Amino acid sequence: MVIRALLVLLALLFSFPCEAGIIVRGSGGASCATQSIDQQNTTYNADADTYGNRTRGQSIVAGVTTTVYSIIVYGLGVPAGSNGQLKARFGTSADLSASYLGETDAVDIIYDDNYYEYELIFPSGSRPSQTASNTYYIAVINTGAVYGDRFIIAYQNTDVYGSGIFYYSDTNLWNMGDSVGSWDLYFKTKVCDP
């Protein structure tokens, strides 16, 4: 009787779809031996569309000198979409269109009504380095070209991350010419442990 109850419980647990909070990871290649979160803001109360030339990002101040393993963002793909992938760049200016330290592999967007954390992993042979106390910029794009393939990225419209601000562009891919000093992207920078 106990075994039957356990089997029913297991069947129920595995029959429901994934819920918000699940991390969607890119492939990335070989990992660092261990990683940890260096900088982050994990609060949000607003969101913004990404598709076409719309770029969303954040400035950060590195806490440790090491190699950056991945960028994590939070959001949802609208159920009508099907063609988008997320990518991120990491660099030393808000214009990451031509010059940047690293670009992540693309990660497919899950198009449903749930929010997910997306981990955008830098390829093992070309991970960017960061130096403690220096300012860096994260830019995130969706390769989906049309509104129907949009990704809705989460951010906080109050200042919760004191070491940087929200950057964006609605017209220039990878070049974030606009900023809002009192907003912060939902983000995490995962680094290789020194």
pLDDT tens profile 129-138: 999 999 999 9
The residue with greater pLDDT, 98 or 29, is 98
> Which region among 16-30, 72-86, 106-120 has the lowest average model confidence (pLDDT)?
16-30
More confident residue, 121 or 29: 121
Q: Is the pLDDT of residue 23 over 80?
A: no
Q: Say which residue, 20 or 41, is predicted with more confidence.
A: 41
Q: What is the structure's pLDDT at 81? A: 87
What is residue 38's predicted lDDT score, i.e. its pLDDT? 98
Residue 2 clears pLDDT 50, i.e. is over it = no
DSSP characters for the chain? -HHHHHHHHHHHHTTSPP-TTPEEE---SSPPS-EEEEEEE---SEEEEE-TT-EEEEEEE-SSSEEEEEEEEEEEE-TT--S-EEEEEEESSSB-SS--SEEPPPEEPPBSS--EEEEEEPPGGG--EE-TT-EEEEEEEE---SGGG-EEEEEESS---TT--EEEESSSTTB--EEETT-EE-EEEEEE--
For residue 21, pLDDT beyond 80: no
Q: Give the residue with greater pLDDT, 113 vs 87.
A: 87
State pTM to two decimals: 0.86
pLDDT of the residue at 5: 41
CATH number of 19-192: 2.60.120
